[in-house]
Amino acid sequence: MWVLDGGFDSWVAAGLPTTMSEPPLRKRGTWRARPLDQALLATRSSVAALRDACTPRLWDVRSMDEFNGRVTLAGAACAGRIPWASKRLDWDAFRRADGTWRDASEVRQIARELMNAEPADDLDLVFYCQSGVRTTQLIFGLCRAGWPLEKLKNYDGSWVEWSHLASSEEIRDAASG
Supply the pTM of this predicted model.
0.82
Spatial contact of 42 and 156, defined as CB atoms under 8 Å apart:
yes
Q: For residue 129, what are the contacts with CB-CB under 8 A and spacing of at least 6?
A: 60, 61, 62, 91, 135, 158, 159
Residues marked as catalytic: 129
Q: What is the pLDDT of residues 50-101, one digit of tens each?
A: 888 767 689 999 999 999 889 999 999 999 999 888 789 999 999 999 989 9
What is the rounded distance in angstroms from the CA atom of residue 89 to the CA atom of residue 92? 8
Split at pLDDT 50, 70, 90, the class of 129 is: very high
Helix (H, G, I), strand (E, B) or coil at 60: strand
Q: What is the pLDDT of residues 146-169, one digit of tens each?
A: 999 999 999 999 999 999 998 888
What is the rounded distance in angstroms from the CA atom of residue 27 to the CA atom of residue 16? 26
| CATH homologous superfamily for the domain 37-174 | Rhodanese-like domain (3.40.250.10)
Q: Between vectors from CA 83 to CA 77 and to CA 89, what angle results, nearest 5°?
A: 90
Per DSSP (E only), the strands in 19-162 are: 41-42, 58-60, 87-88, 125-128, 152-155
What is the rounded distance in angstroms from the CA atom of residue 156 to the CA atom of residue 65? 21
